[in-house]
């Protein structure tokens, strides 16, 4: 009954309705992942809806109840924050947060309670007068047992090491490089037992590292990794080839590439490898996403729908598969791999700065093949770190927003117990007959959960009328719900309920049988061949039709998705067939109708950009 066309980065659902009088035609919705529609009218073969409450809809091909999200604000009322880092800086067993605000560096001390709301995070300035402080990292630079701080500035402030004072109150800081940098990370790059500093700079189109020569942070040497990059904006350390030696990954925004570099122990040179081609990459995070023992790379770009999982196929970092996760991101600033659900596999978090949202992709099966996507609204999120704020062993997200720091956690065993989604207004199929069929759906409904629907049907999408009684029986005959013949416009809303917050029903698709027209012509239409052949469907900008011309005069009409007539022509019987090329159409779904005497046929076509 239908075909699905899929292209990377673009999803087009197209149902080609064929004439059959042995079985009623039907319309089906199989996904809602594109979100709320900007138009009241969207046929059900488009993955949109009008509104929802407590429904998880972002995963392709499924609706479920939302996970419960705990969101606590620990600091607010500032402006121009750019980055955060997380560690137990105070040595009390609870992780703290450091952030950059304008030219200041602020330490937020964890109150040390088992619950964030039981105490106030005390803010202390540990540095000021740093111009363009863009990046933060942490490590025990001087090997004294305290976690120190590394700051990277895109100015003459360059790279600064903040020495943790331990029991005293004043932080000491030392400038270790004046080179303006965009990003820093810390780790033992040369395997000598102390922490070094990785950096990249868009000013010099270079990437390098500061060698901690004495292990005390007092003597440093700058060493180059690559000086021919184009717009390196973010860098991170990870063991990508599983040789127990740290490698360096980098996002090069102006050449639309994500690279990694391997340090050759024999001569201290670096070998460059390509991970992926991504438009304006801005952030990466590393981890074993599919549990195959290899380090994979999550990468996000600043353009729309640009979050990619880069799978390290053989563990050597030389063979990658790159998959667009289709998360509908917009203006992503940061991405993160972490075990958010405490189930021993990695989940995904993405900060969408332009959309004011955080997207969570839950890894349900540990391989990344079965996932659940959930969206949460925040004010201009820009930096993500994992944190265990209450020291319970379960990871949370420390989130820098427009003017606040928040701690967010998802409880994977706590769903909402009730949710509702209202569909867009779809259209029934137009044929020569008028009759209701059945309503069916595909779902998983564990014990204690339920799915039910309400419908309404009208000839005017602006006045759809009252909702029907609740439908809870799969396969319900719609003629029992609506006493009159079908009208053109149909809308539904679905209710998901659960008696237990640990389980959710799942809806995969819903179908409605029926067509509109003149019921008296059914018997005369059986076994007649089609009047129209659509030559290219979907097509780009035009619709190509071949029309058979019997003895009767025919009327050819094309309607857009709202029912507006966009093309109309009377065809006189003059030859066996004629071809029509209908151009000038905007991208969208159209209904092509042909009438000849007492016959009528309607086809749905899709026009792409």
The arithmetic mean of pLDDT across residues 535-558, rounded, is 74
Domain boundaries along the sequence of the chain: 416-514, 543-607
Q: Which CATH entry fits the domain spanning 416-514: 3.30.750, 1.25.40, 2.60.120, 3.90.105?
A: 2.60.120
Q: Are 430 and 515 in contact, with CB atoms under 8 Å apart?
A: yes
* Residues sharing a CB contact under 8 Å with residue 546, sequence separation 6 or more, in sequence order: 532, 533, 535, 577, 578, 579
Mean pLDDT of 527-556: 70
> What distance in Å separates the CA atoms of residue 226 and residue 183, rounded to the nearest whole number?
15
Continuous H helices in 41-106:
none
Q: How confident is the model at residue 600 (pLDDT cuts 50, 70, 90)?
A: low
Q: For the segment 450-464, what is each residue's pLDDT rounded down to a tens digit? A: 999 999 999 888 899
Candidates 393, 342, 200; CA nearest to 284 is 200
Architecture of the domain whose range is 543-607: Sandwich (2.60)
3-state helix, strand, coil in the chain (%, to 5): 0, 50, 45
Q: Among the listed ranges 42-46, 98-102, 326-330, 356-360, which one has the minimum average pLDDT value?
A: 42-46
Q: CA–CA separation, 195 vs 418, rounded Å?
A: 50
Classify residue 452 by burial, with Cβ atoms within 10 Å: 0-12, 13-18, 19+: middle
Q: What is the DSSP string of 186-241?
A: EE-TTSSSS-EEEEEETTTTEEEEEEESSSSSS-EEEEEEES--S-EEEEEEE-SS
pLDDT in tens, 140-159: 999 999 999 999 999 999 99
Using one digit for the tens of pLDDT, what is the confidence trace for 61-101?
889 988 777 788 999 999 889 999 999 999 999 999 999 99
Instruction: Give the model's confidence band at 9: pLDDT under 50 very low, under 70 low, under 90 confident, else very high.
Output: very low
């Amino acid at each position: 009954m239908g075909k699905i066309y899929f292209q990377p980065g673009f999803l087009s659902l197209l149902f080609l309705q064929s004439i059959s009088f042995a079985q009623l035609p039907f319309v089906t919705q199989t996904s809602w992942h594109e979100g709320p529609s900007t138009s009241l009218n969207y046929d059900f073969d488009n993955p949109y809806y009008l509104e929802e409450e407590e429904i998880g809809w972002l995963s392709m091909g499924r609706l479920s109840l939302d996970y419960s999200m705990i969101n606590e604000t620990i600091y607010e009322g500032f402006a121009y924050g750019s980055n955060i880092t997380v560690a137990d800086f105070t040595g009390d067993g609870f992780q703290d947060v450091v952030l950059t605000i304008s030219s200041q560096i602020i330490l937020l001390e964890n109150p040390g309670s088992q619950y964030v709301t039981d105490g106030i995070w005390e803010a202390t300035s540990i540095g000021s007068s740093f111009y363009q402080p863009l990046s933060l990292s942490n490590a025990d630079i001087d090997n004294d047992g305290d976690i120190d701080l590394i700051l990277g500035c895109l100015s003459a402030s360059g790279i600064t090491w903040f020495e943790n004072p331990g029991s005293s109150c004043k932080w000491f800081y030392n400038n270790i490089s004046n080179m303006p940098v965009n990003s820093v990370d810390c780790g033992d790059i040369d395997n000598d037992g102390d922490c070094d500093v990785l950096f990249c700079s868009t000013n010099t189109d270079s990437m390098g590292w500061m060698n901690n020569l004495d292990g005390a942070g007092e003597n440093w040497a700058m060493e180059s990794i690559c000086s021919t990059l184009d717009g390196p904006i973010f860098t991170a350390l990870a063991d990508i080839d599983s040789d127990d030696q740290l490698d360096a990954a980098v996002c090069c925004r102006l050449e639309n590439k994500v690279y990694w570099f391997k340090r050759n122990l024999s001569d201290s040179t670096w070998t460059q490898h390509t991970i992926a081609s991504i438009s304006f990459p801005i952030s990466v995070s590393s981890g074993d996403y599919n549990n195959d023992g290899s380090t994979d790379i999550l990468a996000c770009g600043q353009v729309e729908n640009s979050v990619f999982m880069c799978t390290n196929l053989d563990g050597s970092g030389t063979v990658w598969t790159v998959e667009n996760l289709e998360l509908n991101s917009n203006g992503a600033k940061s991405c993160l791999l972490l075990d958010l659900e405490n189930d021993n596999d990695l989940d995904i978090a993405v900060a969408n700065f332009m959309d004011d949202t955080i997207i969570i992709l839950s890894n349900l099966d540990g391989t990344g093949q079965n996932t659940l996507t959930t969206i949460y609204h925040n004010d201009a999120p820009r930096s993500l770190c994992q944190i265990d704020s209450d020291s319970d062993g379960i990871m949370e997200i420390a989130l820098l927003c427009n003017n606040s720091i928040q701690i967010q956690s998802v409880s994977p065993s706590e769903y909402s117990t009730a949710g509702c989604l209202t569909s867009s207004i779809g259209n029934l199929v137009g044929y020569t007959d008028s009759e209701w069929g059945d309503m069916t759906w595909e779902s998983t409904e564990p014990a204690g959960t339920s799915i039910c629907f309400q419908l309404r049907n009208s000839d005017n999408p602006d006045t759809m009328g009252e909702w029907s009684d609740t439908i809870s029986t799969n396969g319900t005959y719609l003629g029992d719900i609506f006493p009159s013949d079908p009208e053109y416009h149909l809308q539904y809303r679905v209710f998901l309920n659960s008696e237990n917050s640990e389980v959710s029903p799942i809806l995969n698709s819903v179908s409605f049988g029926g067509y509109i027209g003149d019921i008296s012509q059914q018997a005369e239409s059986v076994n007649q061949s089609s009047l129209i052949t659509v030559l290219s469907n979907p097509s780009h900008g035009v619709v190509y039709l071949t029309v058979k011309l019997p003895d009767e005069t025919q009327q050819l009409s094309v309607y857009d998705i709202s029912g507006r007539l966009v093309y109309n022509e009377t065809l006189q019987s003059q030859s066996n067939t004629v071809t029509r090329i209908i151009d000038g159409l905007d991208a969208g779904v159209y209904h092509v109708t042909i009438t000849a005497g007492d016959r009528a046929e309607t086809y749905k076509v899709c026009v792409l950009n």
